[in-house]
Amino acid sequence: MKAVILVGGQGIRLRPLTTNLPKAMVPVLNVPFLEHVFRHLRRHRVTDIILAQHHLAGPIESYLGDGSRFGVKVTYVIEDSPRGTAGAVKNVERYLDEAFLVLNGDIFTDLDITAMVELHRRREAVATIALTPVEDPTAYGLIETDVRGKVTRFLEKPDWSEVTTNMINAGTYVLEPEVLARIPAEREVSIERMTFPLLVESGEPVYAYPSSGYWMDTGTPEKYLQLHRDLLGGRSARYSPPPSGGVRIGEGCDVHPSADIRGPALVGDNCTIGPGVKLMGPVVIGERCRIGEGSVVEDSVLWWEVLLGERVTVRSSAVANNCRLESGSHVDGSVLGDGVNVLPGVRVESGSNVQSGAVVA
């Protein structure tokens, strides 16, 4: 079975982390997001992958190549203009001649793909939609089903008085090729708001596959940080935190004996952790970071080659590549894009999104 992964979005909600990097390449536990998706597909013996691309396509192909070093085969298809979720699938139609998977490129999930495909075949469905429960379904589109799991109605962002279920579209689908005939060519079309409702209204067999496994839409900085908290906390079956104190140190690191590292923490290769540094988990430190004497990093994610001077504090924040936080600076509850320079003693207040290349004085 082939899998189509939708990676053409601009990642607007995730900016400034996605200013210079496609959303699918944003690091999760120091590995590009797409690599996690590939591993999950490979576990379910899906190794023929089509990437439906548009925005910032170059970095993805440069990193993945033909996919062979990740145990998959990758085909790249670039849209000349945004096509929406259904239009992107229509744009790769020439590669699809049997049942196939579709995955949104910003969902991290433990979904049992094998079981979902088996249900799709058993029900002789034209489309099967993965569902996941959420606490607040009013922010999403609800999917109602009958007792056999056949989809009967879609309800987009309902009021609480309209809520009949907490199961929402989980962003993974199994589709038969005939669904492609229902999607107009060379147009922006939503599979969630247009294609699926059309199939249901036409009486086609559309089924749901409910899953209680871990699920996270990583589309915002808040959810991106929460994903790391969850993974480091062992809430997903796809990552096992290290047993010994919950701390994993990469190769070639120079960690001063007086540094205090409390898990869960993941430190990438070739990092320098200075005297008196405190890493208070959950923390992820990317490769080649340097953290100066007396600095504190707590509940945060640092990407690659981040430099923290002496007595710097970073709490509940995401810091992108090549940032420089000079001595005595303080970053709290914020997101810094690539190459941000925070000058000595400056405080970046909670809720700030600092654009790439900015100097904060």
Return the active site residues.
157
Which candidate, 62, 26, 25, 67, places its Cα nearest to that of 46? 67
Which candidate, 351, 7, 5, 287, places its Cα nearest to that of 172? 5
| Cβ count near 303 (within 10 Å) | 24
Cβ-Cβ contacts under 8 Å for 313 (sequence gap 6 or more): 295, 296, 298, 329, 330, 331, 332
Q: 223-226 long-range contacts, Cβ below 8 Å, gap at least 24?
A: 224/14, 224/17, 224/26, 224/301, 224/318, 225/299, 225/300, 225/301, 225/316, 225/317, 225/318
Quote the Cα angle for 98-43-65, to 5°.
Answer: 75
Cβ-Cβ contacts under 8 Å for 188 (sequence gap 6 or more): 81, 82, 83, 84, 87
Torsion of CA 258, 259, 260, 264, to 10 degrees: -150
**Alpha-carbon separation of residue 145 from 148, 169, 205, 210 (angstroms):** 8, 12, 12, 10
Which candidate, 109, 337, 346, places its Cα nearest to that of 230? 109
Distance of CA 156 to the CA centre of its chain: 23
Q: Are 206 and 196 in contact (CB under 8 A)?
A: yes
